[in-house]
Structure 1
Amino acid sequence: MHLNLSDDGSKVLGVEFTGGCNGNLKAISKLVEGVSSDRVIEVLAGNTCGTKKTSCADQLTRAIEAARAEIA
């Protein structure tokens, strides 16, 4: 995954995924572009995929949190 946040980490400027379900991940990328990182985390955190305890969307929220921690 390649994640691009605003300088202060408050906004998702773009995201590109590697692997996963290509169509859904392209849609997620378009939907989160320009959205506040808090809102993306609020909506997508904890999302699961089938019987897995996580999902690509959930992993995106974890990446946002990690990137924001590096900025702080």
Structure 2
Amino acid sequence: MVFKTKGVCASQINIEIEDDIIKSVEFVGGCSGNSQGIARLTIGMHVNEVIDRLEGVTCGYKATSCPDQLAKALKKYQAEH
């Protein structure tokens, strides 16, 4: 799935999910090191676990963050499947 982000440096998140397990995550734009770290840490995790851990994380003065946007993307995935 492709998720267009809002309020963060990354412009989108490309996510591959199989049987509610994260197979791959790629942030387009944003802070490369942090994005790669988040992506690697979430591979193999269940969608619900990632949402529980990342939802509500903020970045500085922003009301959201790349991890929070990933949680929003996964919630959208759940709503559609």
Partner letter of residue 52 of structure 1? K
Structure 1 unmatched runs, 5+: none
What is the root-mean-square deviation in Å for CA atoms of aligned residues?
0.8
Per the TM alignment, residue 41 of structure 1 is displaced from its structure 2 partner at its CA by 0.6
SS at match of 1:5: strand
1-side partners of 2:70 and 2:63: how far apart? 14
TM-score by length of 2: 0.81
1:53 aligns with 2:63: yes
Percent of aligned pairs with the same amino acid: 42
More helix by share: 1
Q: Give structure 1 regions of 4+ aligned residues with deviation exceeding 6 angstroms.
A: none
Structure number with greater CO (CA < 8 Å, separation at least 6) is 1
Counterpart in the other structure of 1:27: 37
More strand by share: 2
Per the TM alignment, residue 65 of structure 1 is displaced from its structure 2 partner at its CA by 0.8
Q: How many aligned positions are there?
A: 69
